[in-house]
Amino acid sequence: AQKVTQAQTEISVVEKEDVTLDCVYETRDTTYYLFWYKQPPSGELVFLIRRNSFDEQNEISGRYSWNFQKSTSSFNFTITASQVVDSAVYFCALSEAVISGTASKLTFGTGTRLQVTL
Amino acid sequence: NAGVTQTPKFRILKIGQSMTLQCAQDMNHNYMYWYRQDPGMGLKLIYYSVGAGITDKGEVPNGYNVSRSTTEDFPLRLELAAPSQTSVYFCASSYSRIRDNSPLHFGNGTRLTVT
Q: Are strands B10-13 and A64-69 parallel, antiparallel or unpaired?
A: unpaired
User: What pLDDT is recorded for position A78?
Assistant: 96
Note the Cα B64 to chain centre separation in Å: 10
Confidence band for B97, pLDDT divided at 50, 70 and 90: low
Q: Which residues of A touch B33 (CB under 8 A)?
A: 103, 105
Is residue B48 over pLDDT 60?
yes
Residues of A in contact with B91 (CB under 8 A): none
Average confidence (pLDDT) over B80-99: 85
Using CA atoms, how far residue A41 sits from A24, A73, A117, B34, B67, in Å, is: 24, 29, 14, 21, 31
B31 touches chain A (CB under 8 A): yes
Q: What's the CA gap between B18 and B10, in Å, rounded?
A: 15
Q: How far A53 CA sits from the closest chain B CA (Å)?
A: 11
Over 80: is that where the pLDDT of B37 sits? yes
Omega before residue B8 within 30° of 0, cis = yes
Decide if B55 touches A, using CB distance below 8 A. no
The percent of residues in chain A predicted with pLDDT above 70, rounded, is 93
